[in-house]
Amino acid sequence: MPADRPERAPRTAIRGGVGEALPHESAHLHVSGEALYTDDIPLPEGALHAAIGLSERAHARILELDLDDVRRAPGVVAVLTAADIPGENNHGPVVHDDPIFATDAVEYAGQSLFAVLATSVNAARRAARRARVEYDDLDLVPDAKTALARGAFVLPTRRLARGDAQAAIAAAPRRLSGALATGGQEHFYLEGQVAAALPGEDRTMQVWCSTQHPSEVQRLVAHCLGWTAKDVVVQCRRMGGGFGGKETQPALLACIAALGAVKTGRAVKLRLDRDDDFLVTGKRHPFELSYEVGFDDDGLIRGIRLTLASNCGRSVDLSDAVNGRALFHADNCYFLPAIEIVSHRCKTHQPSHTAFRGFGGPQGMMLIECVVDDIARTLGLDPLDVRRRNFYGVDERNLTPYGMTVEDNVIGRIVDGLVASADHAGRRQAAARFNAENSLLKRGLALTPVKFGISFTATHLNQAGALLHVYTDGSILLNHGGTEMGQGLHTKVAQVVAEELQVDIGRIRCTATDTSKVPNTSATAASASSDLNGKAAQAAARTLRERLAAFAAAKHGVPADAVQFRAGRVRAGEAADVSFEELVQDAYHARVPLSATGYYATPKIGYDPKTLTGRPFFYFCYGAAMSEVIVDTLTGESRLLRVDILHDVGASLNPAIDMGQLEGGFLQGVGWLTSEELRWDERGRLLTHAPSTYKIPAVSDWPTEFNVRLASWSRNREDTIYRSKAIGEPPLMLAMSVFHAIRDAIAAAAGGGVPRLDAPATPERILFAIDELRARNGRPAA
């Protein structure tokens, strides 16, 4: 494949075109404290602060809710309960099963019962604790295992089969079964959930909300008020992190703020403190995973049965789509000729688990990676060899279990490149030497691949809009349906517009996401926002460019295709060469419209949700990581020593931003699989609800040796925006290399065999996994 990018215009003098490693558009505001987040927006005099009264029980009937003491507390102006909701008591995005305020029963500890409005944040929070609630405890379902045993589901079980898996397993030379649990994960966006509502004239409401999905917040706010979407404007300039946690969760806060604003006629702000944020909002779905596999003596998989049971929490939320994506990623990079996948969607008394970077994909992939690793360790083969042996082919063995042909497979090239650059063979030998010489510390090494499908699996969501204004001074205002949560979306989309109109990016301002500018937007999610909004903005820019070109062509008597935009100037053949702003002024005076919308719908995709087959994804992203860890066999502490990554983003729109997503996603995945442990007590209450007890990676967790690269040769074979690929989610799953490196070290410590290790691999789990494997190997514990 050629290293250049033929679709892209040749390099020009504009600053900030596509492919340039520009800093984030807000970087100068971030570092100076000038970037405004929702909580920083000044509200009018008399604005109130809200706090939510939370259930202390995980599953109980509410016998009495006595709020007299709350009302009497200092600073309290009003109290809101379900009786104060003029419209629908719901903030559920898909199924209407999430009450804003619980009425008869509570189904998780932390569920919202009421809200209090007071003159200060602290007054509201203190008052909210003064409620007297009488409960009658009901049966607790604490986890997916219990739910399975009791048949408690939020949605029916789904099954996807190709061929006769049972027969293929039975006929295979070798068979193996196993199980694995993956833990939940708190998003831990640094900015907690927050929304503010300002009542306007004539039954209208302005809402500021830290949300990945302003349109949904708009709809749910309108419906809880008994209004319609036209009455509510939702705006989000930026979020202090989202990671999926602000896809559906913010609606509860926005609804409460809006209800309070209607009730009092004053502006109301609701910001959760960190502990409440942990308690109230959903997390990554914990999964119970198991498999039965038949394979041959070389480790080639003949048939496989996979069971994926997710802990969805108390309601549906996005669990159908999350579990769907888990199912669609249970193959990862591997061709599974005969397969049966069973997907259980368990109901538990936890917050409703929700979108989190990867959206079920990571859990599905964790299972198949354990399968291939277990096969390799059972056969005494190098896990990398077994992985490669089972990879999808390029022209054959390339049909996924859901019937989509993998047309863009580059995992072989990625892995070959990484094996060479990271010296897999040499490092394996070095680790073995180290392990022979060290009794207490053991090293482990693993290389794991990633293939991640891009598009919302709900096909209708794959659309986007943009709005572009050119002013008579040649400056440009850009708005699109995507939200900025740190991922650099606004930077990339502005680069697209700069490239299309051939102007410096300094001319362009990308404004806050606003439901009154671009309507009916999809969530900024599924890694697809640059793809979707980039294309929509491109369409808007092209509309404007074509109008301007037609105008210039007519004016100067040249064909439209002789008009060229290049580096801030516009040439009409040999007839004219004017600056962009001169052309714009001329066009204005000639009454050419200087505002345009753009729209994009992803082509080619579509699948049947009844059969779970078809083409859910426009294309796939690929990547691979090799990690090396060291494990302390006395305490189970582990440390990531080195990581090598080669990742495919197609032709990058902005390599600096993509690198940031790549490294950050990887480390977030490392947290999920190592240090981030959610612990619930026997009564179903979350014990780890602050950074003092819930440990996301800190600076020392970034390894001292790292070689992280984008695959410079890659370009998307599909017609995406400038042939780029998505970057948001796929890197998270590169962290599986760390988990498997830990397994490798455990095996080394125990003298071989198949480790039994659940995620997260905490020091405790690692220590006990070593002991357990040593016991199976007939060796004494340390």
Partner 1 sequence: MGAAGTIRFLLDGEIHSVADGAPTTTVLDWLRERPGRTGTKEGCAEGDCGACTVVLAELAGEGVRYRAVNACIRFLPTLDGKALFTVESLRSPAGSLHPAQRAMVECHGSQCGFCTPGFVMSLFALYRSDRRPDEAAIRHALSGNLCRCTGYRPILDAARRMYEYPHDDGAAGERELRERLDAIRVAQEKRLDGAGGRYVAPTSVAELAAALAERPAATILAGGTDVGLWVTKRHAVLPDIVYVGNVCELASVTRRDGFLDIGAAVSLTDAFAALLAEYPDLYEIARRFASPPICNAGTLCGNVANGSPIGDSMPALIALGARVLLRSAAGRRELPIEDLYLDYMKKDLRPGEFVQAVRVPQARAGLLLRSYKIGKRYDQDIAAVCGAFAIGLRDGRVASARVAFGGMAATPRRAPACEQALAGAAWTAAGVAPAIAALASDFAPITDLRATREYRAQVAGNLLRRLLAETSDGGTPASVWGHAG
**Tell me, what amino acid is at 408?**
D
Interacting residue with partner 1 among 326, 696, 727, 732 (CB under 8 A): 696
Q: Are 460 and 467 in contact (CB under 8 A)?
A: no
Catalytic residue list contains 20: no
- From the list 187, 114, 102, 108, the residue with the least C-alpha distance to 154 is 108
Q: Are the C-beta atoms of 443 and 638 separated by less than 8 Å?
A: no
Out of 439, 520, 579, 595, which residue is the one contacting partner 1 (CB under 8 A)?
Answer: 439
Site for partner 1 in 121-160 (CB under 8 A): 122, 125-126, 129
Does 44 interact with partner 1 (rule: CB under 8 A)?
A: no
Task: Print the binding letters for residues 482-501 with partner 1: x by CB under 8 A, - otherwise.
Answer: ---xxxx-------------
Residue 628 Cα to chain centre, angstroms? 26
C-beta closer to partner 1: residue 648 or 771: 771
Rounded to a whole number of angstroms, the minimum distance from the CB of residue 602 to partner 1 is 26
- Does 69 sit near partner 1 (CB under 8 A)? no
- Residue 531 in contact with residue 602, Cβ under 8 Å? yes
Q: Pick from 273, 297, 546, 608 the residue near partner 1 by CB under 8 A.
A: 273
Write out the binding residues for partner 1, residues 703-762 only, by CB under 8 A: 704, 706, 708, 762
Name which position in 177, 228, 429, 438 contacts partner 1 (CB under 8 A). 438
User: Per CB under 8 A, which of residues 627..646 are in contact with partner 1?
Assistant: 630-632, 634-639
Q: Which is nearer to partner 1, 210 or 457 (CB)?
A: 210
Structure tokens at 199: 């009542």
Q: Does 183 bind partner 1 (CB under 8 A)?
A: no
Q: What is the CB-side half-sphere exposure of residue 304 using CA atoms within 13 A?
A: 28
Q: How far is the CB of 37 from partner 1 (least distance, A)?
A: 7
Cα separation, 186 vs 283, in Å, equals 5
The stretch near partner 1 (CB under 8 A) out of 52-60, 294-302, 582-590, 693-701 is: 693-701
Compute the least distance from the CB of residue 346 to partner 1, in Å. 23
Query: Is 432 a residue that touches partner 1 (CB under 8 A)?
Result: no
Q: Which residues have CB under 8 Å from 406's CB, separation 6+?
A: 392, 398, 399, 400, 451, 620
State which residue, 599 or 702, has the beta carbon closest to partner 1. Answer: 702
Residue from 695, 709, 758, 779 in contact with partner 1 (CB under 8 A): 695
**Residue closer to partner 1 (CB basis): 396 or 682:** 682
CB 657 within 8 A of CB 24: yes
DSSP per residue, 263-332: HHSS-EEEE--HHHHHHHS--SPPEEEEEEEEE-TT--EEEEEEEEEEE-TTS-TTHHHHHHHHHHTTTT
Q: How far is the CB of 634 from partner 1 (least distance, A)?
A: 4
The window from 39-47, 340-348, 413-421, 519-527 that contacts partner 1 (CB under 8 A) reads: 39-47
The 528-567 contact track toward partner 1, x by CB under 8 A, reads ----------------------------------------
Helix (H, G, I), strand (E, B) or coil at 156: strand
Is the peptide bond prior to 760 cis by the omega test (within 30 degrees of 0)? Answer: yes
Judged by CB under 8 A, does residue 683 bind partner 1?
A: no
Contact (Cβ atoms closer than 8 angstroms) between residue 78 and residue 263:
yes
Structure tokens at 61: 């009937």
Q: Tell me the two tokens of residue 691.
A: 């950074």
Alpha-carbon span 297 to 544, nearest angstrom: 62
Q: Give me the least distance between CB of 576 and partner 1, in Å please.
A: 39
CB of 702 to partner 1, least distance (A): 4
Q: What string of DSSP letters covers 120-154?
A: SHHHHHHHHTT-EEEEEE-----SHHHHHHHT-EE
Q: Which of 247, 546, 729, 772 is catalytic?
A: 729
Instruction: Look up residue 331 and give its two tokens.
Output: 């193959």
The residue among 638 and 724 lying less far from partner 1, judged by its C-beta, is 638
3-state secondary structure 325-359: HHHHCCCCCECCCEEEEEEEEECCCCCCCCCCCCC
- Mask for 234-263, x = binds partner 1 (CB under 8 A): ----xxxxxx--------------------
- Residue number with CB closer to partner 1 (428 or 695): 695
Residue 43 or 550 with smaller CB distance to partner 1: 43
Q: Work out whether the CA dihedral 759, 763, 767, 770 comes out positive or negative.
A: positive
Residue 189 or 392: which CB sits closer to partner 1? 189
Residues 72-131 that bind partner 1 (CB under 8 A): 122, 125-126, 129
Q: How far is the CB of 57 from partner 1 (least distance, A)?
A: 19
Burial of residue 172 (number of CB atoms within 10 Å: 0-12, 13-18, 19+)? buried
How, if at all, do strands 48-54 and 112-118 pair?
A: antiparallel
Instruction: Single out the residue of 383, 664, 728, 755 in contact with partner 1 (rule: CB under 8 A).
Output: 664
**Shortest approach of partner 1 to residue 596 CB, angstroms?**
30
Considering only CA atoms, give the Rg of the chain: 27
Dist CA 430 CA 444 (whole Å) = 10
Question: How many chain residues interact with partner 1 (CB under 8 A)?
Answer: 90
Residue among 485, 607, 466 at smallest CA distance from 532: 466
Distances in whole angstroms, Cα of residue 74 to Cα of each of 116, 132, 268, 603? 12, 17, 17, 58
Indicate the Cα dihedral angle 387, 390, 393, 399, nearest 10°.
-120
Q: Using CB under 8 A, which of 8, 15, 19, 39 touches partner 1?
A: 39
Footprint of partner 1 on residues 458-487 (CB under 8 A)?
485-487
Residues 762-781, one symbol each (x = binds partner 1 by CB under 8 A, - = not), give xxx--xx-------------
Judge whether 304 and 178 are in contact, CB under 8 Å.
Answer: no
Nearer to partner 1, 242 or 568 (CB): 242
Residue with Cβ nearer partner 1 (486 or 568): 486
Task: Read off the tokens for 720.
Answer: 């995406």
CA dist., res. 414 & res. 388, Å (int): 11
By annotation, the residues acting in catalysis are 729
